Structure 1
């Protein structure tokens, strides 16, 4: 699991289990009623917090000692737990009038303001949890006034504290646990080493100024857990760290530590977890390892050199060993393969050599085996899956030889195999094809054999390129339903391309070049709706190129070169928006489509003697002019002469027309410097659009500009024109370069960008017009104007239509994230940017605009974060760092909108729909209570509940725990494909268990770029 997930789960179990079990005297005593003064204080507190509905049982007629949020001792309140109550008000000073208050838990609310110094008056506090709130500012310099003699647990997690942690914290002598993951950007004090009772210290994921680990920390002889990953640590690990004799878990990962790993570190008899991940440690691993209780060692992402110590083989309790991304050399100790508890081993990206120990997997329940990018030779160990739990083998980039172990064919648990770039030979074990395999990468070896009719149902990535597979592609390929990438270049396949290959619904990449395939292309090629890359080059294919290829909606790259295709190039291919096209070395004839008569395709048509072009730079024959017979020449001449007078008159008339129109354009400020850059065939001109940008045609406005609905002909066709509001601040050339990239995007669920009209100071983007406008109008306007008639009516989107809208939008976003190169991150995804056509098909709009409008040198402040409140991922708001997961968060909010009917910014200025939904779910309230009343049909309730949970999952606070858009799309498709729409939905939430329980499961072996990424 991820570092943050692991840390969070440990925090929960440690704090609440250790503290509350160790303080039984705080139990609720119901033999004595609460004194009246304290009851008055509690009721006043409820009123101060605006009477949260979950505290409705706090009444003057009931005894506070019976309230679940309260614990009493001898009739006096000792514990107050008001976590997860959506409190949005500050902490009042009179809370400390509860004189015997020992435990105060305020976590997971939205309490604003600075550090609550009013709590200095709570003199008996032993446990204070302020985590998961909206506190800001610095920790006060006099924090030692916070119950210095009694406070044992101080939890400040996940707030917005900045600056330094003050030295005064070292005076809280009784402190046992300190958790402070925030936004600290100053320093942490060496005085923490004075907290001699400290057992748990978590300072991770803060951006402290670079500083070493203070030597004073080694005095913490009771410290059992030290978590300081991502804290900008520098320097060496203190040599006397071995003095911390109670240490059980150490995580110093993702810092910039240097020097050797001190030998004393391995003399910590209680050490059970060691993480030194992504540092810059140098030197060799010490051989004086005596910590036989070690269970996990992670020294990855450092600069360690030398050999792997033989002493690792003595660690009989070791379950996980991660030494990846170092500079280790030599052979792997044979004793490592004999460890009885070893589950995960990661040695990739080193300089290791020799043969792999043959006993790996023989003596332990090995789960992941990752040894890629080294210099290993010889065979794979034969018993890797002897105990039947192996889920991944990654050994690419070595010099391994021989056949694959037969045991891999009997390994039902196998999910990922990556053996590319070795010297393996022989056939793939039959059973391996039909395991739980999702990824099989074996390219660049010498494997032989034929493809099976049946493969694992979950296989999505298959690359067997540059091997010696032979025979025909089996008709059973039609059952490979989840295949997204099929790469089989440079093998010995023969026969025809089977019609069944076109029935794969998820196929995005198909490479069959460099084989011996013959015959014509399948007639049903139009079925490849999601195909992005297609290559059949260097085969023996013949016949005509089917016109249906030009109708593939998202095809970006097409290579049919070095075959025997004949006839003309279908005009429909000109409809494709191709980044790459190669039809060279065939027998094609006729004129090439006009769309490709430019220098970008000067190598695309060579070696076709019958092709011609009107562009001489393409190196093709010039297309002959079609002239009249000579005996008709005189007639043409006479006709031409007779029309000269009429032509002269027409020229004068046109000249006058343009003079008048030029005057009008200047009067409107529309001068002749406008440049039109087209990405589609257009049936309108720039002047016709410019003259229609009037207030009466404006249909919307937003952060990026105003939008106009502009007619383009008399038959009722329209386009949408967006005028960029801060275009004067954009670099003109950079803007056009960005727009040209966006203009190449072609997907049925992305709004089509037709052209750009610009000057140095003005920018207009012209999109296809979507008749039913934006999703938010249909979800949040119970009475609104019809998009077509303007009449007032009650708008209702029934659930089947909402689910289909979610699927459409997920398809578009998935394409942007996973199929575009480079990938496109929207940054401003929201329901108003999901547009609907006349059939309510959904398309994503305004993609790419957020990036263009933020990158012009503005200061690094919240004011320039692209996005809208309620949709902005928390990490984006705090750091402005973006990846695909910020879009996943926003999409999760849209899912919650579809289910609840509430707006994304539901709540007040400090809360949102995502926070509201999370609290609703966490409090155990019936999920059905959150549903929009317009979709409360019994046959859909289970389905709606699953989408609600998916929305919560997508809006998780930890980006790494959010699914990818591929995951999201698959879940949504499973929802609509499981049962016929409209029938009784019998599915349970177990369908979502593998994803929705992400915090309780192992991270998927396949990371977002298709690589192996298991976590020790």
Structure 2
């Protein structure tokens, strides 16, 4: 080898080994693809969940990476809160076939740089913050692309016809993608398409294109909540592979085509909430293994198809809110696969097939508001947890065999023709939470030995002929919050135990009760609870009962009073003497202490431009802006020229902080001192002395959310100089909801250990000059030692109306406790009502839940001061989400991470259905159940 050749070889070697590969350390020891991945990690701001991506480890072992023969073929980075754009060098991974970035915050326009990923077969960019238009040349994506999911982003305009150029597509999901646009009929030219989802889009009114019926391989067609009009195409019978059809929540009219019922693969039919009319074709269930049949909330007439369960796989039958007549189909007699039956609010009649009651998988049976007759069975399915037969014509006695209905949690049997006694066997139902037997013909004494009803929260037996005494055991039920025994024949005194209940609603009116009502019930909230009981008395005039004192005078009363007065005078003189001695001693100590200069200590958590000397002189009465249970809040100017202010919370005691306040102070400092989040109020520093402790926060110009939502609640003592006549409009309310949710999400999911606030309420949500929300007042916060596991506290703390039921009864707190409180805030934002402003003495959460379950229009519950047509969808969504977050059962509430995604991605869209929330994580299960009417005790959201 010549010298020149050797020199060239050396130079080439130097160039090769010094070339900067993508990676944390530009060395020859790092695999080039690993270097690209490490640069990707760095570009995405090093998400903590992929901290295991290190140059020293094999990238093919990382769970987010898929390799084939040591070559990277797949990347899955989901739910990581990524907020950076996709870098172009991701396509340097030439063999990349799978890319999943769903559920992040990736911004920017559609990433056309992915056109260079020429081997992609799977691309999921759903649930991000992409915006702008979907480009016309989108067909330049990989010709091998089979799965493309762009759902839940912020694009505008139409879906381009160019998408039909992706001929290899088998799955196309475009749910919640565009607003005020349209979808192209050319989608019908994708010959291999098996899944098509166009749901949750605010399309201009548009019919289902006839070309869609050319999709012979299509198994799933979902175009719900998409402003569809017209009729279902008659030649839909050509779509012989169709298994799942969801056209719900649209304005589709006309009748259901018979051909739809003849499709051989059809399993799930969702046509609810449309304008469909006519009779349901009798062929449904005869030609396919029908699993779900939901045509609720239409204008359908006639009877139900007899063969709905002919193939014995029917799981859900949902037909409520129609004008159906006739009896239930005979095929339901031995349909053991049934899990839920909802036929309420029709004109159905006849008796219930005996086999339906005992279908082994049956969980929910709602038949209320029909004309059904007959008697209740002795035995039902062991899984049955909810039965609603209210407003029918069931008769006879409640069977003693009801003790075998072992998993029953909700039993609504109002307004029927039941007679006889309430059977003692009913007390065997230990999971019973709601029992409604009002408006029947029941008689006899109320059942005894009811302490087994540990879960009972609602009991209504009004408008019957029950007699005897009210059992004292009712007052021992730990969860009972609503009690109605009105319009019966009860007599005797009201048991004192009833006063121990934490009731939100009580009605004992129109009975034969006597004596004095328990002292705890003598409150204005119960001023209509005891009417029409002539022999009852009370000491409180507002209860509209006779004064107990007027009938208690006796000959010895004067002497007793005189003794009491003399005794009081003696005690008073003794107290005066004690106070005089104490005051002299205290004055002496004060004079001594005044000679000492307080020793103030300042601990800063941020860079600050002031000292305690700027703060202390301004803690004057004219600077007070608020008071609370643990201190006074001042606004203090710290820069005369800049006009900058800070908020100072003073926790003070003339002697020494008591143990409770000391704990609150320590908790707030420890929590806030370490938090850095734009939606959590910034604790600048703390200033402490032996007698006083000060917390110095950033100042929030627009004060607290409750002062905007509930101006009538303001008082001079807590509003300071804050006086406005402005109304918090809907866009600002959306901003507040999202900001608050993000703050709680950070506390629950990004802090280690996670933080539970325990006192989330509108007065603890502060607003800056731009109406950005920040969570404040962490005096009650708790750091959870184990993620997701409850932490038992020594006493219930919080504010009435916001306290989750399980917290009030068990003192167990976890993240779901805060979710409940946040749900109340959402309901406040949507309705304008306060947390305790529900009708009939209910809390807002209980009232909203009842309003929804009764089928009342959501519009009637919304805040009239800001209700505009263009905001109605968003306001309805927030109302529904508020109900879901404030679910009675904690397991049915979503996580704050899920709530953030719903609010961010749906502020201009309706709430997502199961196709929009296409996730694999188990934490989403409760949310999906609620959105699609799962077993959560709530009626499904599609009802209204």
Task: Give the counterpart of 2:427 among 433, 443, 450.
Answer: 433
Task: Give the counterpart of 2:322 among 321, 326, 334.
Answer: 326
Task: Give the counterpart of 2:207 among 209, 212, 219.
Answer: 212
| Deviation larger for 216-225 or 402-411 | 402-411
Task: Give the counterpart of 1:407 among 387, 401, 418.
Answer: 401
Alignment-derived partner of residue 230 in structure 2: 235
Indicate whether 1:520 and 2:516 are aligned: yes
Counterpart contact for 2:153–2:178, Cα < 8 Å: no
Q: Residues 374, 963 of structure 1: CA spacing in aligned structure 2 closer, same or farther, 3 A cutoff?
A: closer
Task: Give the counterpart of 2:484 among 483, 487, 496.
Answer: 487
Describe how 1:44-443 pairs up with structure 2 within 5 A: 44-147=39-142, 149-185=143-179, 186-289=181-284, 290-312=286-308, 314-376=310-372, 378-382=373-377, 385-435=379-429, 436-443=431-438
Task: Give the counterpart of 2:500 among 499, 503, 508.
Answer: 503
Indicate whether 1:460 and 2:457 are aligned: yes
Secondary structure of residue in 2 paired with 1:274: strand
- Cα offset, 1:337, TM superposition: 3.0
Alignment-derived partner of residue 787 in structure 1: 650
Indicate whether 1:870 and 2:739 are aligned: yes
Alignment-derived partner of residue 998 in structure 1: 926
Task: Give the counterpart of 1:560 among 527, 530, 544.
Answer: 544
Task: Give the counterpart of 1:849 among 691, 702, 708.
Answer: 708
Counterpart contact for 1:120–1:146, Cα < 8 Å: yes
Alignment-derived partner of residue 731 in structure 1: none
- Cα offset, 1:278, TM superposition: 1.3
- Cα offset, 1:405, TM superposition: 3.4
Counterpart contact for 2:820–2:885, Cα < 8 Å: no
Once residues 141 and 899 of structure 1 are traced to their aligned partners in structure 2, the CA distance between those partners, rounded to angstroms, is: 48
Counterpart contact for 2:151–2:176, Cα < 8 Å: yes
Secondary structure of residue in 2 paired with 1:235: coil
Size of the alignment, in residue pairs? 682
- Cα offset, 1:303, TM superposition: 1.0
Q: Residues 190, 773 of structure 1: CA spacing in aligned structure 2 closer, same or farther, 3 A cutoff?
A: farther
- Cα offset, 1:116, TM superposition: 0.4
Residue segments in structure 1 that go unaligned for 5+ positions in a row: 1-32, 551-557, 570-715, 723-766, 778-782, 806-827, 875-886, 915-923, 932-942, 972-993
Counterpart contact for 1:258–1:281, Cα < 8 Å: yes
Q: Residues 568, 201 of structure 1: CA spacing in aligned structure 2 closer, same or farther, 3 A cutoff?
A: farther
Counterpart contact for 1:330–1:353, Cα < 8 Å: yes
Once residues 209 and 854 of structure 1 are traced to their aligned partners in structure 2, the CA distance between those partners, rounded to angstroms, is: 40
After superposition, give the CA deviation of every residue in 1:743-780 in whole Å (9 maximum; x if it has no partner).
xxxxxxxxxxxxxxxxxxxxxxxx86666247999xxx
- Cα offset, 1:801, TM superposition: 4.8
- Cα offset, 1:299, TM superposition: 0.8
After superposition, give the CA deviation of every residue in 1:528-574 in whole Å (9 maximum; x if it has no partner).
7x95565211123255x225xx8xxxxxxx6535x6867499xxxxx
Secondary structure of residue in 1 paired with 2:535: strand
Secondary structure of residue in 2 paired with 1:95: helix
Once residues 832 and 380 of structure 1 are traced to their aligned partners in structure 2, the CA distance between those partners, rounded to angstroms, is: 63
- Cα offset, 1:42, TM superposition: 3.2
Alignment-derived partner of residue 21 in structure 1: none
Task: Give the counterpart of 1:473 among 461, 470, 473.
Answer: 470
Task: Give the counterpart of 1:546 among 539, 546, 558.
Answer: 539
Secondary structure of residue in 2 paired with 1:870: helix
- Cα offset, 1:327, TM superposition: 1.1
Secondary structure of residue in 2 paired with 1:397: coil
Indicate whether 1:772 and 2:631 are aligned: yes
- Cα offset, 1:60, TM superposition: 4.7
Secondary structure of residue in 1 paired with 2:740: coil
Counterpart contact for 1:896–1:951, Cα < 8 Å: no
Q: Residues 442, 804 of structure 1: CA spacing in aligned structure 2 closer, same or farther, 3 A cutoff?
A: farther
After superposition, give the CA deviation of every residue in 1:69-108 in whole Å (9 maximum; x if it has no partner).
3333344322222333433221122222222211112223
- Cα offset, 1:439, TM superposition: 0.9
- Cα offset, 1:318, TM superposition: 1.2
Q: Residues 250, 525 of structure 1: CA spacing in aligned structure 2 closer, same or farther, 3 A cutoff?
A: same
Once residues 53 and 720 of structure 1 are traced to their aligned partners in structure 2, the CA distance between those partners, rounded to angstroms, is: 43
Once residues 487 and 811 of structure 2 are traced to their aligned partners in structure 1, the CA distance between those partners, rounded to angstroms, is: 47
- Cα offset, 1:127, TM superposition: 0.8
Residue segments in structure 2 that go unaligned for 5+ positions in a row: 1-27, 553-618, 637-645, 669-677, 684-691, 695-702, 712-722, 776-783, 792-809, 827-876, 892-921
Indicate whether 1:947 and 2:818 are aligned: no
Once residues 325 and 209 of structure 2 are traced to their aligned partners in structure 1, the CA distance between those partners, rounded to angstroms, is: 32
Q: Residues 485, 117 of structure 1: CA spacing in aligned structure 2 closer, same or farther, 3 A cutoff?
A: same
Once residues 248 and 380 of structure 1 are traced to their aligned partners in structure 2, the CA distance between those partners, rounded to angstroms, is: 38
Once residues 667 and 504 of structure 2 are traced to their aligned partners in structure 1, the CA distance between those partners, rounded to angstroms, is: 21
Once residues 530 and 693 of structure 2 are traced to their aligned partners in structure 1, the CA distance between those partners, rounded to angstroms, is: 36
Secondary structure of residue in 2 paired with 1:256: coil
Q: Residues 496, 73 of structure 1: CA spacing in aligned structure 2 closer, same or farther, 3 A cutoff?
A: closer
Once residues 41 and 888 of structure 1 are traced to their aligned partners in structure 2, the CA distance between those partners, rounded to angstroms, is: 31
- Cα offset, 1:854, TM superposition: 12
| Deviation larger for 38-47 or 186-195 | 38-47
Describe how 1:814-833 pairs up with structure 2 within 5 A: none
Counterpart contact for 1:775–1:831, Cα < 8 Å: no
Q: TM-score, normalised by structure 1?
A: 0.58
Once residues 342 and 930 of structure 1 are traced to their aligned partners in structure 2, the CA distance between those partners, rounded to angstroms, is: 35
- Cα offset, 1:173, TM superposition: 0.7
Counterpart contact for 1:440–1:462, Cα < 8 Å: yes
Counterpart contact for 1:454–1:479, Cα < 8 Å: no
Q: Residues 142, 190 of structure 1: CA spacing in aligned structure 2 closer, same or farther, 3 A cutoff?
A: same
Q: TM-score, normalised by structure 2?
A: 0.63
Counterpart contact for 1:893–1:904, Cα < 8 Å: no
Secondary structure of residue in 2 paired with 1:327: coil
Q: Residues 787, 296 of structure 1: CA spacing in aligned structure 2 closer, same or farther, 3 A cutoff?
A: same
After superposition, give the CA deviation of every residue in 1:595-654 in whole Å (9 maximum; x if it has no partner).
xxxxxxxxxxxxxxxxxxxxxxxxxxxxxxxxxxxxxxxxxxxxxxxxxxxxxxxxxxxx
Once residues 442 and 739 of structure 2 are traced to their aligned partners in structure 1, the CA distance between those partners, rounded to angstroms, is: 53
Once residues 940 and 216 of structure 2 are traced to their aligned partners in structure 1, the CA distance between those partners, rounded to angstroms, is: 39
Counterpart contact for 1:175–1:197, Cα < 8 Å: yes
Counterpart contact for 1:961–1:998, Cα < 8 Å: no
- Cα offset, 1:163, TM superposition: 2.3
Once residues 804 and 518 of structure 1 are traced to their aligned partners in structure 2, the CA distance between those partners, rounded to angstroms, is: 50
- Cα offset, 1:394, TM superposition: 1.0
- Cα offset, 1:64, TM superposition: 3.5
Q: Residues 164, 393 of structure 1: CA spacing in aligned structure 2 closer, same or farther, 3 A cutoff?
A: same
Counterpart contact for 2:624–2:632, Cα < 8 Å: no
